[in-house]
A and B are shown apart, each in its own frame.
Chain A
Amino acid sequence: MHITNLTVRKRLLVALITAIFLFLGIFTRFFYIQVVWGKQLRQKAVDQWTRDLPITADRGLITDCNGNVIVNNVTAYTVYVRAKNVVDADKVSTILSQHLNIDYDRIYSKVTDKSSSEWTIKRQVSADTVSALREYNLEGVYYATQSVRNYVYGDFLTQVLGFVSVDSVGQTGIEAYYDKYLSGIDGALLTQSDLVGKELYDTSMQYVAPIDGFTIQLTIDCIIQQIVENVLKVAMQAHSPKHVQCVVLDVTNGQILAMAQNPSYNLNDIPRDDISTLMELSRNTIITDIYEPGSTFKVLTAAATLEESRKGNPKAFDENHVFTNNSDVRYLDGTKIKCWTKHIGNKHANQTLAMALNHSCNPIFTDIALALGTQTFYGYLQAFGYGSKTGVDFLGEQAGLLVDEQSVTVNDLARIGFGQTIAVTALQLAVATAACVNGGYLYQPYFVKQIIDPVTGNVVKTMYPTLINRPISQETSKLLATMLQGVVTEGSGKQAYIEGYQVGGKTGTAQKYVNGAVATGKNISSFVGFFPASAPKYLCLFIVDEPVGVTYGSVVAAPYTRMIFQSIIDYYDIAPIQP
């Protein structure tokens, strides 16, 4: 064997060239990864390198129409630990358990558990406790400020305002409907960290400021709301009903001035543990529940016939027409419709429309509805918004129940004439009645007047009154308002009378149905009132569900409407109207 032979040399060169080609190939791959793909990879990597501490934006305030704050925020703290940064686990656990009233072992297990970068020890800790804890300079323990919703008046406007979840997301009411305006945009503190989230030394932090939520200014007037809340409590005590509710509207524009119900709960102490109770109490029944309105509905029937007679419809009765069928019953398709009282003697005899309203005489309104016929009458129902949602800025509104126009029987039509066989929301009835007396303008009801930027004070959004429809003329409306004033002056609504303020209104006592049959002794008593009749401004619908004892709306609901109106007059010092 001599020196390296040719084969070995050749083979060495082949192997070398192969190796160099492989180097070139791999270098191409490196070039692709580092230069071509690099930017995209870096973007993905940034996610794992940074850790951001969220800085929650303050939720927007909610004020009444005059700027009085109803809902604001108070600062609370969240105490959390990062196990990796804890030096003395025993000391940390001991001190935290003393100050936060949490079991030592529970804290110790979190303090020593490095499987997560962060453990929350307790939320909503007060500023005092946190400043006491800060004294100890505990390593690995951190405090994050957290804004907690504070309802200034507690149980006040409860179902309208709604509540937020523990992480401050609107769940119901205005809090939910206007959540995107209220929530604001969270900021963050970005820090560079290692794999398990431990902060790196010598690295800069980046602060992204939070943007606080907008202020929501409601149409609600705190004064009127407080009056209503108080009166509801009085009514609850006096009649021990299942439920009372009330809405006050500004009839000139559809603004909701007050809306309340009882029983209720304190928004600062939400019964979150008892979901069914919470769901029951937090439902805004005025908007989301339907009921058979009864006699208050006669206002609409009266409006329909008056407007039709003005338009020259020969089937309609005008204000001068005298109804001569004085019987207290009407037989329709073999069923009997009775008046609420027997027509003995001269009772309910030879009535005009105004008198029929005063007496709340059922047979007359069946006559009117039947005379107008399904098509015309349904035209008015729809024109006044029945069967469709009012469009109020609130979640969960119901449209009510209206028998389908094609399948409505004579009996149905007759009963709708005095408020049976139809289910409405209280808000629908209030808005429709407002349109009957305000000159004929059906407005969309609304809760929010303005949305305001809390930093600049600029108005971000203004809500203007929305006219939905014009179901009746000014003249008809005026006439009807006068008739309804008569109901209070000399009819069933006497208990709502206030000298010098032209209160008008209509009572209602509706039967309740249980399993499709009339439930005796269970009534919904209501009164819809407004003043002053010559130029209506305030409208109040007061509903008492299942009062015990006397159940007539004239006795159970009308006096409370008067109390509310009287308080408004007193507070705002409204001058009486000179006759």
Chain B
Amino acid sequence: MSILSNRLLTKYKKIDYILLFSCLTLVIIGLVFVFSASYYTAEEDFGNKFYYLNKQVIGAITGLICMNAVILIDINILKKLYLPLIVVSILLLVLVFIPFFSIESYGAKRWIGIGHFSFQPSEIAKFAFVLFCAVYLSNSNVNITKLHHTIPVIVVGIIICALIIMEPNMSVTVCVAMLMVCMLFIGGVPIKHLLLCLIPAVIAVPILILIEPYRLARLMAFIDPWATPKEEGYQLIQSLYALGNGGWFGVGLFNSRQKYEFLPFAESDFILSIIGEETGIVGCFILFCIYVTLILKGVKLATKAPNRYLSLLSGGITFVIAIQTLINLAVVSGCIPPTGIPLPFISYGGTSLVMFMSAVGILLNVSSLCASEQNIAKPHIINKRVRK
């Protein structure tokens, strides 16, 4: 035990504290606002105003443990585990459709339940896919400038997307698709090949709309939510009311009016509306700054990482956070059609929180390696040591 804590201590001496504190600040903000946004509905629906907060606290503690575990491990173990991890992720995504494990909610099968424990496989799949891409694209046998060498990434990406869209979960699918493009981009795939990859995506959108026409109605709703104030437009209108009510400085912590059942998913996908209502544009600005700091640090880390694998891994993780945050922000403010995607670190949801905190653990792990390297001054020397 003391060996473990000593090792953790040595690691902690070298990690990027700004990254750590950005992440922990977001988690704490999340706990405060999950409570603020949910206590009324929790009391109404479960008779316990701490119902959501309790679950989120458990998620945060689990997340903290996982994060520290990830900081401790030798990051190269993940490199060896990438294949089993991606296979297990895909299997878990398949498990969602098996009645015994499946939990259905709002007409979608997104959760797996074992006893009291339940989680969302798609949250795991995102990161497994990043790992897969990072390992594959950093493989010296792969010449990324050749088109056929990108095929494994695209195939795995499409399998994951296909499984998630069947849940159905449009927003996470879009998220994974964007992540795939992003990984190929930072992995160095020639731009023309990337454009080629975009063609199926361009074709897929109208087909998806044709298959499930309600998507078109949803698509239109964000342009003029007041055209269908009780149906498609409702969620967005309520989000706008919340943000508008916030004004410059907000109505004050816990004083949101929209959380009184007016705004659905106030504690999860639309938690930012409540934050905007209670803390105003000033609060939103500060929050955005924290996210941008996190992303800046993540990208900086990626550029300084000792090798291409770690560079792609930390870059990928950073952009999972960036993509998902941006989609959530755009949905809440009505820039894009409303879809349900949680705000990283903040929205209610245990799996998401644990996964994002663990992912930050990877970034912190990498940052400690960078720091060690900087101390010794010459990057290639530490690189050799790592590769031993």
Contact = CB atoms under 8 A, between A and B. Distances in A.
A424 to B, nearest CB: 57
Contacts of B44: 194
B59 to A, nearest CB: 26
A396 to B, nearest CB: 42
- The 7 A-B residue pairs whose C-beta atoms are closest, nearest first, are A41-B244, A195-B261, A194-B260, A45-B241, A4-B311, A34-B281, A38-B244
Output the residue of B244, B276, B280, B296 with the most chain A CB within 10 A.
B244
Interface string B314-331: 010001001000100110
A194 B261 CA distance: 6
Contact of B240 (A9, A14, A25, A41): A41
A3 B380 contact: yes
Contacts of A48: 241, 262
Interface string B32-59: 0000000010001000000000000000
Interface stretch (B22-30, B108-116, B184-192, B355-363): B184-192
Interface stretch (A16-24, A346-354, A436-444, A522-530): A16-24
Interface of A: 1-5, 7-9, 11-16, 19-20, 22-23, 25-27, 29-31, 33-35, 37-42, 44-45, 48-49, 192-196, 200
B319 A15 contact: yes
Interface string B255-282: 0011011100000000000001000110
7 contacts: A1-B140, A15-B319, A19-B326, A26-B288, A29-B335, A30-B276, A45-B257
B326 A34 contact: no
A23 B246 CA distance: 19
Given A34-B248, A37-B244, A194-B40, A20 B333 contact: no
Contact of A26 (B299, B315, B330): B330
A23 B294 CA distance: 13
Interface stretch (B91-99, B163-171, B300-308): B300-308
Contact of B288 (A1, A12, A27, A42): A27
B307 A34 contact: no
B313 to A, nearest CB: 11
Interface in B220-266: 240-241, 243-248, 257-258, 260-262
B292 interface: yes
Contacts of A37: 240, 244
Contacts of B257: 45, 49, 192
A44 B245 CA distance: 10
A29 B333 contact: yes
Contacts of B284: 27, 30, 34
A49 B295 CA distance: 38
A42 B303 contact: no
A386 to B, nearest CB: 58
B312 interface: yes
B340 interface: no
Contacts of B302: 4, 8, 12
A2 B379 CA distance: 10
Nearest to B335: A29
A30 B281 contact: yes
Nearest to B259: A194
Contacts of B383: 2-3
B368 interface: no
A40 B244 contact: yes
B129 interface: no
Output the residue of B291, B333, B334 with the most chain A CB within 10 A.
B333
Interface string B174-185: 000000001001
Contacts, number: 145
A195 B296 CA distance: 41
Nearest to A84: B44
Nearest to B261: A195
B188 A5 contact: yes
Interface of B: 40, 44, 138, 140, 182, 185-188, 240-241, 243-248, 257-258, 260-262, 276, 280-281, 284-285, 288, 291-292, 295-296, 299, 302-308, 311-312, 315, 319, 322, 326, 329-330, 333-335, 379-380, 383
Given A23-B288, A45-B258, A195-B261, A12 B306 contact: no
A390 to B, nearest CB: 52
Nearest to B184: A11
Given A3-B380, A12-B311, A16-B295, 13 more contacts: A8-B186, A8-B308, A11-B188, A14-B185, A16-B299, A27-B285, A29-B334, A30-B333, A34-B246, A34-B248, A48-B241, A194-B262, A196-B261
Contact of B245 (A5, A22, A41): A41
Contacts of B188: 5, 7-8, 11
A448 to B, nearest CB: 46
Contacts of A194: 40, 44, 260-262
Nearest to B139: A1
Contacts of A7: 188
B276 A34 contact: yes
A37 B237 CA distance: 13
Contacts of B326: 19, 22-23, 26
B344 to A, nearest CB: 13
A42 to B, nearest CB: 5
Contact of A3 (B296, B312, B379): B379
Contacts of A38: 243-247
Contacts of B307: 1, 3-4
B291 A1 contact: no
Contact of A15 (B288, B299, B311): B299
B311 A26 contact: no
B380 A15 contact: no
Contact of B306 (A3, A9, A29, A42): A3
B292 A12 contact: no
Nearest to B186: A11
Given A1-B138, A26-B335, A30-B281, A13 B330 contact: no
Contact of B281 (A3, A20, A31, A40): A31
A41 B243 contact: yes
Nearest to A4: B311
Nearest to A195: B261
Nearest to B304: A4
Contacts of B308: 1, 3-5, 8
Contacts of B187: 8, 11
Contacts of A14: 185
A86 to B, nearest CB: 14
A27 B281 CA distance: 9
Contacts of A20: 292, 295
A19 B245 CA distance: 28
Contacts of A192: 257
Contacts of A29: 333-335
B333 A4 contact: no
A183 B44 CA distance: 41
Contacts of B329: 23, 26, 30
Contacts of B40: 194
A80 to B, nearest CB: 21
B244 A34 contact: yes
Contacts of A22: 326
Contacts of A27: 284-285, 288
Nearest to A31: B281
Contacts of A34: 243-244, 246-248, 276, 280-281, 284
B248 A35 contact: yes
A33 B244 contact: yes
Output the residue of B241, B285, B303 with the most chain A CB within 10 A.
B241
Contacts of B306: 3
Contacts of B261: 194-196
A38 B245 CA distance: 6
B78 to A, nearest CB: 18
A12 B281 contact: no
Given A22-B326, A35-B281, A12 B243 contact: no
A22 B244 CA distance: 21
